[in-house]
Amino acid sequence: MSENLTELTDKIISCEACHLKEGRTQVVPGIYGPKSSLCFIGEAPGYYEDKEGVPFVGRSGKLLDKMLEGINLVKQRDLSILNIIKCRPTTEEGNNRTPNEKELRFCGERWLHKQLNFLSPKMIVTLGGVALKFFSPNTSVTKTAGKMINTDSNYQIFVMYHPAYILRNYNLMEEYNSQFESIKQVLNSKLVELSLSEKEQQKTPKQKGEQKSLTDFL
Ligand code: URA
């Protein structure tokens, strides 16, 4: 019998495949939105995510929530949020640290790829350089932030700064706002494309008054 997303998530939660298990409180598998919608991908859980078992709940997560709210998107309802690495990487002193290339490949290939196979997102948004490196090792975030890029993967990738980087460089806030606006525009253009093809195929229209979120259209 083939595995479903819940079974895959259970396996992720009990993963003991690498040394990162030693520094973690718990595994942070991610939050799933609807299939074929947007998927935001960060690097790894930090202190607060490790405590709560949920991605992006610390300061950078609060900024991300605010930016999403500005374009009428809500985690889980409209999009998935995952990290490449599922366990918090720590220094010997117990602080957060950036995951290294080997950790990134190992965890990403073991788990993230399988999650993406289930979710089959129409568009992936990478948050920061580490997430981008996983999909496109030689691409610079500063040169491509706010743009769609071509990669060898099957996914359309939209590059964004990591919210933690914006918290340290508040002068980039205006640019960050316009990156979120670009996501909104991509979603809206997909909405138009899809409503046309719906008409062509004469699908049954939704009941009057039935709510659709933006990403229903992706
Ligand atoms: N930074 C990330 O990249 N992911 C998180 O879940 C939290 C902070």
Domains and CATH numbers, the chain: 5-202+211-217 (3.40.470.10)
The single-letter DSSP state of residue 199 is: H
User: What is the mean pLDDT of each successive set of 10 residues along the chain, which is 218 residues long?
Assistant: 89 98 97 95 98 98 97 95 98 96 98 97 96 96 93 90 98 97 86 49 44 42
Whose Cα sits closest to atom 7 in ligand 1?
56
Report which ligand 1 atom has the smallest distance to the Cα of 163: 1
Cβ neighbourhood burial of 205 (10 Å; 0-12, 13-18, 19+): exposed
Cα 163 to middle of ligand 1, angstroms: 9
Cβ pair 137, 150 in contact under 8 A? no
| Ligand 1 neighbours by CB, cut-off 6 Å | 42-46, 49, 55-56, 58, 60-61, 83
Task: Give Cα 120 to chain centroid, integer Å.
Answer: 12
Whole-model pTM over 0.85: yes
What are the distances in angstroms from CA 3 to CA 8, 114, 117, 145, 149?
Answer: 7, 10, 12, 36, 31
